[in-house]
Chains A and B, each alone.
Chain A
Amino acid sequence: MLTNQKQFLYRLYFVASILVVLGLGIGYRIFDIQFLEGEKYRKIAKEKTIKNFIITPKRGNIYSDDGSLLASTTINYDVYFDAVTVTNKNFNKYINSLSEALSIRFNKPVVFFKQSLINAKKLNKRYHPIVRNVSINILNDIKKMPLFKMGGIKGGLIIEKKNYREYPLDKIAERTVGYERINEKNIYVGVGLEHAYGDLLRGKNGSQIMQKISNGKWKPLDNPNQREPKPGLDIMTTINVGLQDIAHHSLLAQLEKFEADHGSVVVMETKTGAIKAISNLGRTSEGKYYEKLNYAVGESHEPGSTFKLMAMIAALEDDIVGSSTIIDTKDGILSFYGSKVRDSKKGGYGKITAKEVFKFSSNTGIVDIITKGYSKNPEKFSDRLYNMGLNNTLNLSIKGEGIPIIPHPKDKNWNGLSLPWMAYGYGVSLTPMQTLSFYNAIANDGELLKPIFLNKKNVVNKIVLNPSICSKETLSEIKLMMESVVNEKGGTAYNIKSDEFKIAGKTGTCQVDYNTDNVQYISTFVGYFPADKPKYSCIVVIHKPNKSKGYYGNIVAAPVFKRIAEKLFSITPQLKSKMLEKDLIKKTLNKAQLKITNNRNKIENLKGKNFHDVLPRLENLGFNVEHKGKGLIIKNFRIVKNSNNKKVIIELS
């Protein structure tokens, strides 16, 4: 008994001492964690539950002149399929209907999706991509599809969201709206308006210390150093979506018709320099067109005959010619040091006036004017062009503007051919935007404006580059010359003459690659409309059309100009006349051929008329109109007369 008691005590001591040792161990560990290594563990805990977040601001939107969105930041989704979590039974049951639904939604063959899903199941893929970058509306459709509507675990649907810069116009004006990103050197790079106004659109990062709470959410903590993110500013551009659509599709149709390499269209508001539409399309190896580069801004090329305007202005300003001065175009050929200047018309135009030189776009005529006028002092010609500002860039907000080239006798490579070549647009180099700005200055009574893309508070503030490029006399003469090109028989662009409004402009058919066996052409038309009261200037440049289909500026480029001009004309309401209300009623009644006589309270001929047309007319005649039923067509009517008013009850079909 005693032995048992002793044994029990030994065991008790043994267990107790183990417990004491364990207790001491735990105590030491607590001490260690709390004090010896406390700092380290507190730091780890803090890092896991408290973080300093950099909050990126929302990038500003880009709007068109009527408030339509050109660029906005939205959330898009990537959709994946977890083939492991879906049971074989469900997979086999819904694979066909799911593939069909995906096929209808994404316009791809059923077999494409079916095979892809089967492969994912076979390989037990947990993250099989279905579609990327879809909008919320498409995602909502996906969520309703067979199998996927069962959710994440049963249906295997995985959704990942990400910020996405949305461009609602898609491929239209893609290069002008542009993009911006940060490169590996942490420098912002990009093109178009997105990059040009990046400073405004970006906003400023904010920072906030947050503590992790339940549900994976983070709670902001008070911190004196916290900084609110400053959202980017929205910008309103001068681009008009409707006009952009017309410009894009008119250019596209023409490029496709003539299988051209690339082309561009720019529409500018005459009085402000606001760019209303700009389209640049380049051809891919498959013959499709997309906005490859901003040719209108960046591509400096020999302008050809459109430069005759600048040459003619110089000649008029320096009193070398007047518009009625007779010029001998010889037989359509002029020779300079073995090189020949030829007219497009074989045999030339004979003796014609300077105005006709411009109207027929005679190469020999303009070269004759310039060489005779400036051969002794070519510096004067170049200086005249320089004074008009042609050698300066427009300093556009969009990056990558092409540098203009206007040769000068002081240049090292100036030679005997430079002057005659310059006269008809060779040896010089301008971008379409620079050429357009100059033509716009003619339309704008000599005031050269900088092309602008930004609409500040709905008011376009024009930027004047040169208040007067030439004298008023020269201006009126050159305007008449430009009008004759389109509106007079024999003018190079007579084919685009409009009966509704006057166009003034100049065609250009410039040779490129002329030092090779395969000479190509640049077809151009640039001008303004309506010629008597200019509202818009426009340039159309089409590079390297298929020569067998046509290459002259009036055939390839001018029709695009006319289409845009017609559209702008047709959407601008014309102020017809002022009239009195009673005359208006009379006129509209006559038009509708309604026989309504007030005196006899007699109404005839209402059957089949539109109720909404008839109602105001009857009311104007003093009838109290009641109608029954719905619809627009009048089936029947009857007049109820009482002492005070005349009542018409109309039944509608």
Chain B
Amino acid sequence: MNKINKIILGNFLIEEGSLKNWKLVTFLFIMAIIMIFSSHSIDKKIILIGDLKNDVSVLESEFVDNRKSVMKLKMESNVTSVLKDRGIKSFNNPPQKIIVN
């Protein structure tokens, strides 16, 4: 009972030779801080990963959408209809391939 009282009253922190205890307390305190920090840091990283994953999927979708637009723009049917008013028609003769020695 006496021992419990002493612990409750914190005698182990002020009595002679308490420096040893203080070292242990400080060590435990630092460990606890590291634990809390690490736990929060993991949570933060998970949130960041989630956001980045979302960004990646949005960028992928944007890429597909832009690629689709480019594909449609360069389709001959589209180019022909755009240039129709200017009187430009698609060619009928193939390009000539010349091999230079």
Contact = CB atoms under 8 A, between A and B. Distances in A.
A452 to B, nearest CB: 23
A69 B58 CA distance: 17
A137 B62 CA distance: 7
Interface in B24-60: 42-43, 46-47, 50, 57-58, 60
A549 interface: no
Name the interface size band of chain A.
Answer: 35 or more
A374 to B, nearest CB: 45
B67 A168 contact: yes
Given A75-B57, A166-B68, A219-B43, A570 B93 contact: yes
A69 B71 contact: yes
A609 B100 CA distance: 25
Contacts of A578: 98-101
A383 interface: no
Interface of A: 68-69, 72, 74-76, 135-137, 166, 168-169, 213-215, 217-220, 241-242, 245-246, 248-249, 500, 566-567, 569-581, 584
Contact of B65 (A135, A214, A220, A584): A135
A578 B101 CA distance: 7
Given A68-B71, A217-B50, A249-B77, A500 B93 contact: yes
A242 B91 CA distance: 15
Given A75-B57, A575-B99, A136 B46 contact: no
A570 B91 contact: yes
B49 to A, nearest CB: 9
B14 to A, nearest CB: 33
Contacts, number: 104
A168 B71 contact: yes
Q: Which of B97, B98, B99 has the most CB of A within 10 A?
A: B98
Contacts of B67: 68-69, 168
B71 A574 contact: no
A573 B64 contact: no
Nearest to A580: B101
B94 interface: yes
A293 to B, nearest CB: 23
B95 A245 contact: no
B65 A570 contact: no
Q: Which of B43, B76, B93, B96 has the most CB of A within 10 A?
A: B76
A570 B92 contact: yes
B77 A136 contact: no
Given A217-B46, A572-B94, A574-B95, A136 B62 contact: yes
B66 interface: yes
A574 B65 contact: no
Contacts of A573: 94-97
B101 to A, nearest CB: 6
B18 interface: no
A74 B65 contact: yes
A213 B93 CA distance: 66
Contact of B68 (A168, A245, A579): A168
Given A219-B42, A219-B43, A581-B100, 9 more contacts: A74-B65, A168-B71, A168-B72, A213-B47, A248-B77, A574-B95, A574-B96, A576-B98, A579-B100
A566 B95 CA distance: 13
Nearest to B63: A74
